Amino acid sequence: MSPALHTQRIPGGLNSRDVRLRVIRPVLWGLGVFHPRLGGLAAEEQVFGIALAESRLRDLKQRGGGPALGLYQCEPATHDDILRYLARPDKAKLARLVARHATAANREDQLITNLAYATCICRVHLWRIPDPLPKPGDHRSQAHYWKRHYNTAKGKGTVEHYLAAIDGHMDPAV
């Protein structure tokens, strides 16, 4: 694949390389202060793949009128559950790291307007799952992980949808 393929814009959306390098990578690096596994290439690829599969880096509200919000299409109920998780005393340090990215705005609104905060929420959602993240570059396993743990059996997404969404955007040299 040519390098130009990995830096092209998704029609009507954000530059995928910019989202990965200027939002996802630095946010996950910062979360890695809490635990090294919150950062790293496996987390970066999984979070990036979720954004590509869920919103194509352009849809900020769920198509068809559903409740999901932001690039990661997080539902308000999931967001609330993550906030309850972060309110646990043993998660105080992680909660402070996530809160650094929050503004005074309604936190649900931030899933749409605040890319760093939404990235934190996506990563914390995955962090709570006992199954380890797939290895970097194992896109088929990443697709299955997304389907099982993020889109879920109730979601309309498929492994093939995930793989098509990330095609041309997962440059291992980035």
Q: pTM for this structure? A: 0.91
* Mean pLDDT to the nearest integer, 13-17: 92
What angle, 0 to 180 degrees and rounded to 10, lies between the N-to-C axes of helices 76-86 and 115-127? 70
pLDDT in tens, 100-138: 999 877 877 999 999 999 999 999 999 999 999 999 999
* CB contact set of 54 (below 8 Å; sequence gap of 6+): 68, 71, 72, 73, 150, 151, 157
Given CA atoms 165, 13, 18, 147 in this order, what sign does their dihedral have? negative
Per the listing, tokens 């630095």 go with: 26
- Provide φ and ψ at 9, rounded to 5°: -80, 145
Half-sphere exposure of 30 (CA within 13 A, CB side): 19
Quote the mean pLDDT of the chain: 91
Half-sphere exposure of 168 (CA within 13 A, CB side): 12
* Mean pLDDT to the nearest integer, 28-37: 92
- pLDDT value of residue 106: 80
